[in-house]
Amino acid sequence: MLSEERREIISELLKEFGSVSIKDLSLKFGLSVATIRRDLDMLAGKKLLKRTFGGAISQKIIKRELNFETKKDVNIEQKKMIALIASKYVEDGDTIFIESGSTCIQLCFNLSNKNKLTIITNSPDIAIAANMANKESTIFLTGGLFKSDTHSLTGHLADENLKYFNFEKAFIGITAIDLKEGITTVDYQEAYTKKTIIDSAQKVIGLVDNSKFGKICLNSVCPVSSLDILITDDKVSFDAIEKIRQMGVIVINKI
């Protein structure tokens, strides 16, 4: 394959998914990391993408996200670390909301040592994982329209049922986070449901790995400053973390 053809494919992947990693591209094309890095640098020089640590992101608004089955194995080690940190914010007797998402489902696996939890969720996957990890928990599903791509329950029924609950902490997944545009997502119904979750929580804890930083989706959820705590991994730039802290958000990126 010619280098120009390869770079065209990389551009198409960026248009479709919003981000690419050097590691994944190296495996896909069977080429060295150094070769892929040169491709990304060349495309960045043409203003066709923005380079990030370990990959690149599109400079355009993301209109589609990876489906749940694909997402759950992306950046899995970072997601496990984020989930382990998040579990330390769950206390015995808490009433918590755990949103749908591949990082949030990892949180469920760390709740086995918690007692008398009440868990509300808009995800059948979360409900099952939480029950398997902790049989003593009381679990509520919001109901709503099931989205097959994200495995989440959204729409009017979910939003109305959420108004019946008040929870101490909400753990939310993040599709895209940008210092200026805030937290955004692809689907407008999902954006509204996420807003309702945030409004019902005493404390909002965002879970996000480094690949979501610098991305922008079509539908706005909230400013970054709406979060009380942001838990991420140690691959996010020091500059980005400091700017978020200046907004009054507690940022944790190490165990």
- pLDDT tens sequence across 87-136: 999 999 999 999 998 899 999 999 999 999 999 999 999 999 999 999 99
The pLDDT value given to residue 73? 61
68-252: what fold? Rossmann fold (3.40.50)
Task: Show the tokens assigned to 162.
Answer: 């959420």
3-57: what fold? Arc Repressor Mutant, subunit A (1.10.10)
pLDDT under 70 in the chain at which residues? 16-18, 59-74, 255
Q: Percent of the chain scored above 70 by pLDDT?
A: 92
For the chain, the domains span 3-57, 68-252
Dihedral sign for Cα atoms in the order 48, 53, 54, 57: negative
User: How far is the C-alpha of 120 from the C-alpha of 42, rounded, in Å?
Assistant: 47
User: How far is the C-alpha of 144 from the C-alpha of 152, rounded, in Å?
Assistant: 9
The pLDDT value given to residue 169? 98
Please state the pTM of the whole predicted model. 0.77
Q: Are 214 and 191 in contact (CB under 8 A)?
A: no
Q: Are 237 and 208 in contact (CB under 8 A)?
A: no
